[in-house]
Amino acid sequence: MSPVEFLDLTDPATFVRHEAREYWQQVRPEHPVYWHDSPGELPGFWVVTRFSDIQSAYGNAKQLSSARGTVLDVLLHGNDSASGKMLAVTDRPRHQQLRNLMLRAFSPRVLGPVVERVEQRTRRLVADVVELGSFDFATEVAEHIPMTTICDLLSIPDGDRAELLKWNKLALSADSEEADELDSLIARNDIVAYFMDLAKYRRDNPGDDVITMIATTQVGGELLSDEEVALNCYSLILGGDESSRMSAIGAVKALAENPGQWAALRAGAVSLDGAVEEVLRWVTPAMHFARTALADLEIAGQPIRAGDIVTLWNTSANDDETVFADPRTFDLGRQPNKHLTFGHGPHFCVGAFLGRAELRALLAALADSVQSIELAGTPPRIYSNFLFGYSSLPTVFR
């Protein structure tokens, strides 16, 4: 095997210019864990590439902390300001207390009506674009399913939703290489500020909604502050919209490029649930999550020092040949399919059920209403070293 030319994983353009699957296929065999220097005076970090090592690291919350941050860009510039306040960047025992609260937002009682509305809305959106013929799937369909769903869950006023979507699309990615990082920071601050105001309003005017539940339920014997309520709502919006939107766009692109798999789905030769899992593995919208070592440890025989940043590359794990047979083939009937798209262990995504339900509703609506799917142009990738996906998808449904 020729020497690997390591890519700059801090650059949002890296996986626009390079194919992620080809890169990780080169790296995994000889470099399951390697050190990555960062540009300038930013700290370096470890890169973990194999499924087994990544799965084990996700389960090792005692030695690998989420509290400083779980996204590389944040960790390179210091600690996450939401540490100890937002579920994703909190360690036990506070993490378990917050998780129990957030799981109430995703209980069957709460999600039952939400999922029903997802199915109805998705069928309507797909039926509308079939009439158009040629359209941008990203803007006409994908933007409207997850954001509307999570806004329904949080009872966000209809008039505020377009602005939230605009901020969300800036928070973790960009449509061009020239995007200003300040725009991303401002967007994240705007989202938190919006939820601060809404949290205060819902405390004074409680209703039967998730924000009211979060704002009025005690955690560890105390109510959450307005900031804590806002940060956890921010996390739900960001995670619930971005990853599901990228998954939906990636699903349609993959189906257009694999007509045999599309035919199998339409004919009922593969199950909807199985198809959902393969789309999630294939797309892997969150390319990595990060941790900070709390103590000296080893990963795959590589010594890691206390304080080191460790990045866990889901996009490599979900393509690992030692776990998935012929992983670079899109196979809706793949069994088993224990991917790491939603993470693993104590920080497994609380919104996984809802994300799967949204994707299942989309695939069902497509199978029922669309005969053929074609791409009408080359879709542009988003610029991000965290999210993988496309900003638009010119599509023809027949």
CA 301 – CA 184 distance, rounded (Å)? 37
Residue 56: C-alpha distances to residues 152, 291, 299, 345, 348 (Å): 35, 13, 9, 9, 13
Query: Which tens digit of pLDDT belongs to each residue from 238-261?
Result: 878 889 999 999 999 999 999 999
Closest CA to 377 of 360, 398, 395, 359: 395
**Residue 398 neighbours by CB under 8 Å, 6+ apart:** 133, 370, 371, 372, 374
Judge contact between 332 and 270, C-beta under 8 A: yes
Please name the amino acid found at residue 128.
D
Closest CA to 318 of 366, 355, 286: 286
Query: Which tens digit of pLDDT belongs to each residue from 319-360?
Result: 999 999 999 999 999 999 999 999 999 999 999 999 999 999
Please give the chain's pLDDT, 398 residues, in tens.
456 899 999 999 999 999 999 999 999 999 999 999 999 999 999 999 999 999 999 999 999 999 999 999 999 999 888 999 999 999 999 999 999 999 988 887 888 999 999 999 999 999 999 989 899 999 999 999 988 898 888 889 999 988 888 888 777 666 666 666 778 888 888 999 999 999 999 999 998 888 999 999 999 999 999 999 999 998 888 878 889 999 999 999 999 999 999 999 999 999 999 999 999 999 999 999 999 999 999 999 999 999 999 999 999 999 999 999 999 999 999 999 999 999 999 999 999 999 999 999 999 999 999 999 999 999 999 999 999 999 999 999 99
CA 124 – CA 14 distance, rounded (Å)? 37
| 352-384: b (≥16 Cβ within 10 Å) or e | eebbbbbbbbbbbbbbeebeebeeeeebebbbb
pLDDT at 187: 86
**Secondary structure (DSSP) of 346-392:** GG--TTHHHHHHHHHHHHHHHHHH-S-EEE-SPPPBPB-SSB--BS-
pLDDT at 3: 66
**What domains, with CATH codes, occur in the chain?**
14-392 (1.10.630.10)
CA 207 – CA 165 distance, rounded (Å)? 24
Instruction: Check residue 299 and report its DSSP letter.
Output: E
Convert 211-277 into a string of H (helix), E (strand) and C (coil).
Answer: HHHHHHCEECCEECCHHHHHHHHHHHHHHHHHHHHHHHHHHHHHHHHCHHHHHHHHHCCCCHHHHHH
Angle (deg, nearest 10), helices 352-369 and 108-132: 30
Convert 332-344 into a string of H (helix), E (strand) and C (coil).
Answer: CCCCCCCCCCCCC
What are the residues facing 289 on neighbouring strands? Answer: 312
Is the preceding omega at residue 146 within 30 degrees of 0, hence cis? no
Q: How many CB atoms lie within 10 A of CB 2?
A: 5
What are the residues facing 311 on neighbouring strands? Answer: 47, 290
pLDDT at 136: 97
pLDDT at 207: 86
Q: Which sign does the torsion angle of CA 198, 204, 205, 208 carry? A: positive
**Residue 201 neighbours by CB under 8 Å, 6+ apart:** none
What are the residues facing 381 on neighbouring strands? Answer: 390
25 half-sphere exposure, CB direction, 13 A CA radius: 11
Burial class (CB in 10 A: 0-12, 13-18, 19+), 227: middle
Query: Which tens digit of pLDDT belongs to each residue from 364-376?
Result: 999 999 999 999 9
